[in-house]
Structure 1
Amino acid sequence: MIHRILIATLLAMTSTLAQAERIKDIATVAGVRSNQLVGYGLVVGLDGTGDQTNQSPFTIQSFNNMLQQFGITVPPGTRVQTKNVAAVMIQAELPAFAKPGQTIDVTVSSISNATSLRGGSLLMTSLKGPDGQVYALAQGNLVVGGFGAEGRDGSRITVNVPSVGRIPGGATVEKEVKNNFSSGQPVVLNLNRADFTTANRVAQNINEMLGPDVARAQDAVSVAVSAPQDPSHRVDFISLLENIEVEPGEEAAKVVINSRTGTIVVGQHVRVSPVAVTHGNLTVSISEDYTAVQPNPLGEGDTVVLPGSDVEITEETNPMFKFAPGNTLEDIVRSVNNVGASPGDLMAILEALKQSGALKAQLMVI
């Protein structure tokens, strides 16, 4: 069964000893982060797959404003056709330390009723940050992975999403985002997963390599490290820090259930108190039958059809299985597999164990 294979695979993975990881894989430097950019623009050059005029007034308005910037005024009342133009939103991620002149990738998405952006070109668009300032300019030809086809009878087929495209290196950085990396303050390492044990081990391993009191854990996430004030020396220092290996703390006992997909993940430290479990199914089947009743040959009366119901109750007999005290993950998996429980049955069993207090773990349903 699929769930047996999944649990067996997870068992093999979790039974191995924890491996040491580099600090750069489990933590980030506070203040060294990317920033989100967004912009609004027009894609032109489409093959009749742009916005429909009667349903996209903002596309016409944007198109007219663009023409006015080039000294072209559209006479009032002129019906402008925009089937080759699409209004789009542009989004990009500005990496940390990005300098003016560098290029970044952008994603272009239709915001109206354009059926496809394939073959289109994005006109120059300003990309702004949360503070409203322009940090990059985007322009270029789109790469669209999806496509669609439509017949005269209205039938159509679409592969992937043709209304979204990307422009590799399509935006040029115009402004640098300031950060406090060169401020001379202590470097703060933020763990990707909050854990007091991991934070303590990170501080201990740094102190063992660089000397006592160099690093100190502030909480379950942050570890403050005294660092040189000279920027060039700080780069060397961070390079040394991020390659120090640390053995992360083990996860708390946890069982995660995805009720939509039937996926169940049991953590390594899950334990069960002594308890006996049985789980059965009751099936009720009702079938309708009709019988014709005729009068005697010499009697009076009419033939009548009478309904009849047959009710059958079937209950599956499932054996009761026992969890011994202090069971390991391997014992739990073996007991569940022996009884032949399906993923749905296993969810019910785990929930019942949690309610009874026998399951010594967090039960999370996602």
Structure 2
Amino acid sequence: MSMLKSLVVVFSLAMMAAGPVLADRLKDLARIQGVRNNQLVGYGLVVGLDGTGDKAPFTNQTFRNMMNQFGVTIPEGTNPNLANVAAVTVHATLPPFAKPGQELDITVSSIGNADSLRGGSLLMTPLKGADGQVYAMAQGSLVVGGFGASGADGSRITVNVPSVGRIPNGATIEREVISSFQQGDTITFNLLRPDFTTARRVVEVVNGTLGPDMAYAHDATSVSVRAPRDPSQRVSFLSILENLEVDPAEDAAKVVINSRTGTIVVGQNVKVSPAAITHGNLTVTIEENPEVSQPGAFAGGDTAITQNTQIAITEEPARMFQFGPATTLNDIVQAVNQVGAAPGDVMAVLEALKQAGALRAQLIVI
């Protein structure tokens, strides 16, 4: 029995006897290089609609081509009136290690002006990958969550999106994607959040469990581990690795602002240097009150409208608050709550603190 296989057996027993620890599993921190999803896409026709199909010219062309394949020739200049047919795109995600004969869920979306795909059936559609090869064949009846209704006067109501549907297990895999998982003498983990400290800790945990020089880091993202070549041993070996408990490094200090929703997220390590802040609002109100000026019964003249404009300026009292040295997240929250600032005001304060060099964090606006 090889040394790596012995390590697999010994550590399997150790994992069974060990108790739970407060850390993240390696499978939650990283992904294996070469083990990935692949996107598939195709173009096809949905038939059997209740008059809610599209009238796009490419739909007629696709329909003619399909009928020619069945030996049916539609005379030129004849409009087949495809009210029950819609041109669609079909897309799916091919998981790693998927084998021919397995099934995939697919999503079908109208690309013309079809009102709804409810009640339709997708005809056989090849799904291709980025290399142009066919990896799956799709066909089946659509499940559409949305619906719509319209009246003769043009009124219309729509619930959800009736032009998109799904077909559970609607595609059958025809070709396997070759994976590099079984190639080479190492397995490489790519961290989801690149960090030098986390990469170093992964190496330390792996080497502390399997022995010295079993793992090494390439950079802040990739960590390689020596692995057996035998496929069955490699699967067992990887099962051990992905369940190792690693304490990830703390993220860099960040403040994230969503200006559209007013959401502000302040990270744990954010600190503020000594600073004094005052923030107030100046409100200008302009009100137009038109007045009608009408001459007397025998005075002559025309009725006129006179504009009466009133301008009022209101300035809310601004309170000043002070941040002490090395202010923590809790101090920031308490200071903002005491002032009673709105999210827009807090955004302005944080941006000003960043420009003044007092905000010791990365300010991110999304």
Q: In the alignment, what sits opposite 1:193? A: 193
Whether the aligned pair in 2 keeps the contact of 1:214 and 1:225 (CA below 8 Å) is: yes
Give the AA of the match of 2:365. Answer: V
Q: In the alignment, what sits opposite 2:143? A: 143
Give the AA of the match of 1:230. Answer: D
Residue 20 of structure 1 pairs with residue 23 of structure 2: yes
Residue 219 of structure 1 pairs with residue 222 of structure 2: no
CA offsets per residue over residues 145-198 of structure 1, 9 Å max, x none?
A: 100011111111100111111111000000000011111331000011111111
Q: 1:288 to 1:168 in 2, by over 3 A?
A: closer
Which runs of structure 2 are paired with 1:10-159 in the superposition (5 Å)?
19-52=22-55, 56-159=56-159
**Cα distance in 1, alignment partners of residues 352 and 233 from structure 2:** 58
Shift in Å at residue 289 of structure 1?
6.7
Shift in Å at residue 73 of structure 1?
1.0
Shift in Å at residue 308 of structure 1?
6.2
Task: Determine helix, strand or coil for the equivalent of 1:334.
Answer: helix
Task: Determine helix, strand or coil for the equivalent of 2:135.
Answer: strand
Whether the aligned pair in 2 keeps the contact of 1:184 and 1:228 (CA below 8 Å) is: no
Task: Determine helix, strand or coil for the equivalent of 2:319.
Answer: coil
Q: In the alignment, what sits opposite 2:161? A: 161
Give the AA of the match of 1:35. Answer: N
Q: In the alignment, what sits opposite 1:299? A: none
Task: Determine helix, strand or coil for the equivalent of 1:320.
Answer: strand
Shift in Å at residue 313 of structure 1?
2.7
Q: TM-score normalized by structure 1?
A: 0.88
Shift in Å at residue 284 of structure 1?
2.8
Whether the aligned pair in 2 keeps the contact of 1:255 and 1:362 (CA below 8 Å) is: yes
**Cα distance in 1, alignment partners of residues 110 and 339 from structure 2:** 53
Whether the aligned pair in 2 keeps the contact of 1:318 and 1:339 (CA below 8 Å) is: no
**Cα distance in 2, alignment partners of residues 174 and 251 from structure 1:** 43
**Cα distance in 2, alignment partners of residues 285 and 59 from structure 1:** 56
**Cα distance in 1, alignment partners of residues 104 and 291 from structure 2:** 79
- Unpaired runs of 5+ residues, structure 2, are 1-20, 294-303
Shift in Å at residue 310 of structure 1?
4.7
**Cα distance in 1, alignment partners of residues 113 and 308 from structure 2:** 58
Q: Which deviates more from structure 2 when the two are superposed, residues 179-188 or residues 114-123?
A: 179-188
**Cα distance in 1, alignment partners of residues 307 and 163 from structure 2:** 59
Q: Which deviates more from structure 2 when the two are superposed, residues 309-318 or residues 133-142?
A: 309-318
**Cα distance in 1, alignment partners of residues 243 and 22 from structure 2:** 15
Shift in Å at residue 60 of structure 1?
0.8
CA offsets per residue over residues 6-34 of structure 1, 9 Å max, x none?
A: xxxxxxxxxxxx95110111111000001
- Unpaired runs of 5+ residues, structure 1, are 1-17, 294-303
Which runs of structure 2 are paired with 1:146-295 in the superposition (5 Å)?
146-287=146-287
Whether the aligned pair in 2 keeps the contact of 1:117 and 1:142 (CA below 8 Å) is: yes
